[in-house]
Each structure stands twice: as C-alpha cells, then as structure tokens.
A and B are shown apart, each in its own frame.
Chain A
C-alpha cells in the first residue's frame, strides 16, 4: 500500500517552461487536492477534486491547471512557470464519510523557477 505518490520530488525550471506534477493514490479516496506551501504562509489550496470527473478552484489557482484523470490520479500543470511559483507542492487525498475519515499527503515536490 503506497498511499499517495508524487513525482518528481525535485524540479528546477526556467521562467516560461511548462511541467506537470503527477499524483496518484491507491486508497480509493474520492477527494484529492493540490496545495502549495510557502514560508510563513502555511498551506494554500490551489485546486481540488471532490470526485472523479470534477475539479474546483481553491485559494490560489492562477497559473495552474489540473486534470482528474481517473479516481487514482490528479495532476497539476504549470503552463508557463514564473519565479512566484517557486514553492513546495503537496498532493493529498481524503476519504470522508460517516464510517471512515482518512486523509493522507504525498512527500512533496520542491519546485524552483529561475
């Protein structure tokens, strides 16, 4: 049981380059999330997906796109990277119901845009 797997762990991009952060979970969770973590800012929600086939904007969606490819996978794309997107990105999944509440995070992707 791998939990939530994010790739890559580290990435350096030049301004204007694009990339996709991959996230997969094997726990059959409905909800998945992308957050960014910046010093002194805590975790800010970029996008989330409450179920397969749906996505919604979070607090800081500008400059990002997401795809909920299937129940397992939720990817985050930077079309034209900017230095302001230098951050640590976390993917998470949550299963929330009357019978069971579980939430798990990936190990994070440290992204530097130069």
Chain B
C-alpha cells in the first residue's frame, strides 16, 4: 500500500537558518503530494501541494518539488522565522483514476516538529 516517510524530528533551528524536511513516498502511479502544517493547539492547514512530476508547490516562502525519479517531496525554506515553529506533515493521495478523479485515500507521514529560536 501507499506510505510516506518523513525525516526524524524534532528539528531545532535559529531564526534565518535554512530548513529542509525530507519526505519520501511509496505509491503506485502518480499520487498528488501535500505538505500540511499544524500550529500548537490548532488543526492542520494545507501549506502547499503538487499534483504531477516536476511540479513545484510554494507558499509563505516554503517550497517543495515533486521528484518522481527519487519518489521525494522535500520541504525547504531559505530563512525560517520563529512563527514557523509547528509540526509539518507530508502526505499523499491516491493516484487519479481513469475518470480523472481520486480513489480517495490520503496517507500521512508521522510529522516533524520544528522549533525556531530567536
């Protein structure tokens, strides 16, 4: 079945440092890939997404590129802020079926806790 593996956390950085959170996946076909962020005490928010190989998702200074050849979707940010402290989840959805819609299953990685210090 589908699976998502994220780098072990927690990750602790100083403000303005470069961030990479690794994510690799196992799936058949071409799943859509997502990064979600969860701030303390809140639900999950979609951070960015990519639906096909070589697509780059970006939002709020974060970027991730869908790499089919390495089955990866690593999250990067050039300069983190204290306000970026949160838990980050990589996820994938089932590949599109012949009708162009999804079978529906959404699978998450275990989450990576990021703490940014001033």
Contact = CB atoms under 8 A, between A and B. Distances in A.
Contacts, number: 77
Given A96-B96, A97-B101, A107 B42 contact: yes
Interface in A31-89: 31, 33, 35, 40-43, 45, 48-51, 56, 58
Nearest to A108: B43
Contact of B110 (A41, A45, A104): A41
A35 B108 contact: yes
Q: How large is the interface on B (under 10, 10 to 19, 20 to 34, 35 or more residues)?
A: 20 to 34
The residue in A43, A104, A106 that gathers the most chain B C-beta atoms within 10 A of its C-beta is A43
B101 A96 contact: yes
Contacts of B107: 45
Given A96-B96, A103-B34, A48 B110 contact: no
Contact of B106 (A30, A40, A94, A98): A94
Contact of B89 (A42, A97, A106): A42
B45 A48 contact: no
Nearest to B112: A42
A24 interface: no
A94 B43 contact: no
A105 B37 CA distance: 11
Interface in B85-107: 89, 91, 93-94, 96, 100-107
A29 to B, nearest CB: 10
Contacts of A56: 104-105
Nearest to B52: A98
A97 B43 CA distance: 24
Given A103-B46, A105-B44, A97 B106 contact: no
Nearest to B33: A101
A110 B10 CA distance: 23
A92 interface: yes
Nearest 6 pairs of A and B residues by beta carbon: A50-B104, A96-B102, A42-B110, A31-B104, A105-B44, A43-B108
